[in-house]
A and B are shown apart, each in its own frame.
Chain A
């Protein structure tokens, strides 16, 4: 049943651009929404499944974007002490791979460091990390061009042996690339949370001491989650860089983290499909609002919708709806008689 719904959603997303015709504005919105939704899904791994609120998630996204762009553009940097690093451009697909690995590596470091501190302190460490990375991107002009942005980033080229090569230059091609990566990430997360590893995550989130006492290694579990989460965000950042083909330090803006957090929480943190629902809703809301109001007013609506959702469905849309549906089903089934023998 659930699997059917998912396949229907995937098929719907697959034919959506065909149904829309060649509307470049809508297609652009869908691509950016898709990329942010991948970011939101990766954030959900941390926020939803382990209960760690990372407000610096954009750092991994931005690191992915810059690593991928620099890999495919090449660079020539003087590190001082007579050390000079010259890198010749590599294919963009290699950039995507390296972006995933580099972001995952940063996730490892931040995971090892930040899980020593929890709660509000964890939030602030992650924010601080993201800000430091943004300031490096802004100030290390020799490498990143600073505020002048990295331009002419090549599009991703995919090749299959014997079938030829495709350079993904059109919006339609990028849309399907994002859809494919998003589906892959969804599958990875589903696999991850379905089995033993997912149970370890849930155990740590619900009752950490008890989880430790049944032999779950908290540090290792949380670090692995941080690495996978960061790697996915890095991959999303890479897609972003090769789609827009220009990248500047604004990719590190705190507002983007907030957008991802909103997507996760509105959709339903700790659910598989929640970030996708929240992502599509909050990603496409500006599209729906654009004809009727100015961008500033759209953001006001954005904030209002967030507050209303929190008030009406504090656990998010997906758990809220399933609870509603569940209640309706429960009403149609006769309520189980409470067993007096078991009552205390």
Chain B
């Protein structure tokens, strides 16, 4: 029983960052119809900016986090302006391949710059975990959960409470109609991609200190982000948030009760099962026509 509660707590903490990853990816897909294969690389970028700021420049841990998020934002905006804008109007397969190319460039660039050796990001939290009865949680992981939930709340506020968010929702519904009504869709796309990228970078910057940082860390994260997005229904932000927690739960349970080696497989098996049971994702509201 205690073991089960511990797994649930772990899943909750991991789920927060998974939700961040998923929301970023699903926004980009929903609004821009781009399957973003740079998402994992931007997750890596976030982690390395965090590493640079904390370990190399000696910046305060809590200040480094917004720097990493800003880094993701800038990289995202650059990718959109340089690589996606020229391909606007191309089919989804083409932009997907462009993103694969960009992902390769980013990942190899990271490897070239930092080398292949894994790096650790020092954290200011006490090493001894917080003990509540039989449950133990490290302070760092608690902070990660808090930060992730804060960022998710901010993203929701941005989408639902601001003019930019309104324009994004309009573009999501129908980009042509939004354009006719005076929404600058080009700018919305850049903003969307930058926002999604900054969320991926935030996830990397938050999980970097928990684990270690290495150039290929984004590969698996990206596949998991796709899994989360599919689980939640493509383009569904709330679905992605819930999907993130479901995947984390599945992984924790798989690792705890089956075999830790199959931790990552659990998620994929669930995705296969879900898609075969309900091919539009668990939380798809209605199939879009056409």
Contact = CB atoms under 8 A, between A and B. Distances in A.
Whether A and B are associated in the same complex: the answer reads: yes
Interface of A: 53, 113, 116-117, 120-121, 123-125, 127-129, 131-132, 135-136, 138-139, 254-255, 258, 261-262, 265, 294, 296-297, 299-300, 302-304, 306-307, 310-311, 314
A254 B219 CA distance: 8
Contacts of B262: 135, 139
B143 interface: no
B172 to A, nearest CB: 16
B173 interface: no
A304 B230 CA distance: 29
A153 B205 CA distance: 43
Given A136-B265, A300-B112, 19 more contacts: A120-B92, A121-B275, A121-B280, A123-B35, A125-B276, A128-B268, A128-B269, A128-B271, A129-B268, A139-B259, A139-B262, A255-B219, A262-B100, A296-B108, A296-B109, A300-B108, A300-B109, A306-B97, A310-B98
B101 A116 contact: no
Contacts of B111: 296
Contacts of A121: 230, 275, 279-280
Contact of A303 (B92, B101, B223): B101
B226 interface: yes
Contacts of A258: 100, 104
Contact of A131 (B90, B104, B259, B264): B264
B94 interface: yes
16 contacts: A117-B275, A120-B29, A125-B276, A128-B268, A129-B272, A131-B223, A131-B265, A132-B269, A258-B100, A261-B97, A299-B107, A302-B108, A303-B103, A307-B102, A310-B87, A310-B97
In the A-B complex, the 6 residue pairs with the closest CB atoms: A139-B261, A296-B112, A299-B108, A303-B104, A128-B268, A303-B105
A307 B261 contact: no
Contacts of B108: 296-297, 299-300, 302-303
Interface of B: 29, 35, 83, 86-87, 90, 92-94, 97-98, 100-105, 107-109, 111-112, 219, 223, 226-227, 230, 234, 259, 261-262, 264-265, 268-269, 271-272, 275-276, 279-280
A114 to B, nearest CB: 8
Contacts of B97: 261-262, 265, 306, 310
A138 B112 contact: no
A303 B234 CA distance: 27
Given A128-B271, A139-B262, A306 B100 contact: yes
A124 B105 contact: no
Contact of A300 (B90, B105, B275): B105
Contacts of B105: 299-300, 303-304
- Looking at chain A's contact residues, the main secondary structure is helix
B35 to A, nearest CB: 6
Contacts of B261: 135, 138-139
A125 B276 CA distance: 9
A303 B269 contact: no
Contacts of B276: 113, 116-117, 125
Contacts of B100: 258, 261-262, 306
Nearest to A311: B86
B212 to A, nearest CB: 18
Contacts of A53: 93
B223 A125 contact: no
A166 B160 CA distance: 71
Contacts of A254: 219, 223
